[in-house]
Structure 1
Amino acid sequence: MRVLLKLVLDCDPDAAWRAVRSPAVFREVSSPLVEIESLAADGFPTVWEPGQHPVLMRGGGVVPMGKQIIRLSFETAERGSTRILHDSGRGVTGAVSAIRLWDHRMAVAPDPAGTGKTLYRDQLIVGAGLLTPFAWYSLWAFWQWRGRKLQQLAPSWAYDFPAPDPDAVAVDDAESAPSEEKP
Structure 2
Amino acid sequence: MRVLLKLELDCAPDDAWRAIRSPQVFQEVSAPLSTFRSLEVGGFPELWQPGEHPVHMSAGGIFPVGQQVIDVSFPDAPTGVRVMRDSGRGLSGPLALVTHWEHSMAISAAPGGKTLYRDQLIFSAGALTPMLWPLYWAFWQWRGAALRRLAPSWRWGTTRRTSLSL
Q: TM-score, normalised by structure 2?
A: 0.93
Count, aligned residues = 159
**Contact 1:108-1:120 within 8 A present in 2 as well:** yes
Structure 1 residue 160, shift from structure 2 partner: 2.6
1:83 counterpart residue number: 82
| Structure 2 counterpart of 1:49 | 49
* Paired position in structure 2 for 1:170: none
Gaps of 5+ in 1: 163-183
Q: In structure 2, what residue type is equivalent to 1:38?
A: S
The answer for the alignment partner of 2:91 in structure 1 is 92
What's 1:13 paired with? 13
Selected match of 1:138 from 135, 138, 149: 135
What are the Cα deviations for residues 115-162 of structure 1, in whole angstroms up to 9, with x where unaligned?
A: 110000000001000100111111100000000000000000035327
Measure the CA separation in 1 of the matches of 2:30 and 2:158.
27
Gaps of 5+ in 2: 160-166
Distance 2:73 2:106 in 1: 12
The 3-state SS of whatever aligns with 2:140 is helix
Pairwise CA RMSD: 1.0
- In the aligned structure 2, how far is the partner of 1:38 from the partner of 1:32? 16
Distance (Å, rounded) in 2 between the aligned partners of 1:124 and 1:78:
20
Tell me the residue number matched to 2:109: 110
User: Offset at 1:76?
Assistant: 3.6
Tell me the alpha carbon deviations over residues 3-40 of structure 1, each in whole angstroms, 9 at most, x when there is no partner: 00000000000000000000000000000000100000
Task: Specify the code of the residue in structure 1 equivalent to 2:71.
Answer: R
Cα drift, residue 82 of structure 1: 0.4
Alpha carbons of structure 1 residues 40 and 159: separation in structure 2 relative to 1, 3 Å: closer
Q: Identify the match of residue 124 of structure 1 among 113, 121, 125.
A: 121
Whether the 8 Å contact between 1:55 and 1:68 is mirrored in structure 2 is yes
Asked if 2 retains the 8 angstrom alpha-carbon contact of 1:99 and 1:135, the reply is: no
Structure 2 CA distance for aligned equivalents of residues 147 and 76 of structure 1: 24
Q: State the Cα deviation string for residues 71-120 of structure 1 (Å, max 9, x = none).
A: 000124222x1000000000000011101110000000001xx2110000
* Higher Cα radius of gyration: 1
Q: Which residue does 2:28 correspond to in 1?
A: 28
Distance 1:158 1:57 in 2: 29
CA distance in structure 2 between the aligned counterparts of 1:26 and 1:42, rounded to whole angstroms:
17
Partner of 1:161: 158
Equivalent residue, structure 1, for 2:70: 70
Relative to the length of structure 1, the TM-score reads 0.85
